[in-house]
Amino acid sequence: MTPRMGRPKVENPKDVKYSIRLDGDTEAKLQAYCIEHNITKGEAIRQGIHLLLAKNK
């Protein structure tokens, strides 16, 4: 039997999903930040969470 082809498994899968509501101004700022830094909205939000946690240490 040959091994299955496909994407390799990642070390830390992102399998928890959230749905949030943003006002138009916040969405525009998030979009601009993501374009400027060439990252996804999810990555920007993850970075923001880490900044908040580091700030409160």
User: Does residue 47 sit within a domain?
Assistant: yes
User: Does residue 11 sit within a domain?
Assistant: no
E strand spans, the chain: none
Across 9-25, average pLDDT: 91
Domains in the chain: how many in total? 1
Residue 57 contacts residue 50 (beta carbons within 8 Å): no
- Percent of residues, the chain, with pLDDT higher than 90: 68
User: Does residue 38 sit within a domain?
Assistant: yes
Closest C-alpha to 48, from 10, 18, 11, 15: 18
User: Does residue 14 sit within a domain?
Assistant: no
pTM of the predicted model as reported, rounded to 2 decimal places = 0.75
User: Does residue 48 sit within a domain?
Assistant: yes
Q: Tell me the residue range of the domain where 49 lies.
A: 24-55
Confidence of residue 4 (pLDDT cuts 50, 70, 90): confident
User: Does residue 7 sit within a domain?
Assistant: no
Q: Is 13 in a helix, a strand, or coil?
A: coil
Closest C-alpha to 26, from 4, 5, 48: 48
Q: What is the pLDDT of residue 39?
A: 98
- Is the pLDDT reported for residue 1 higher than 70? no
Distance separating alpha carbons of residues 49 and 28, to the nearest angstrom: 19
User: Does residue 44 sit within a domain?
Assistant: yes
User: Does residue 49 sit within a domain?
Assistant: yes
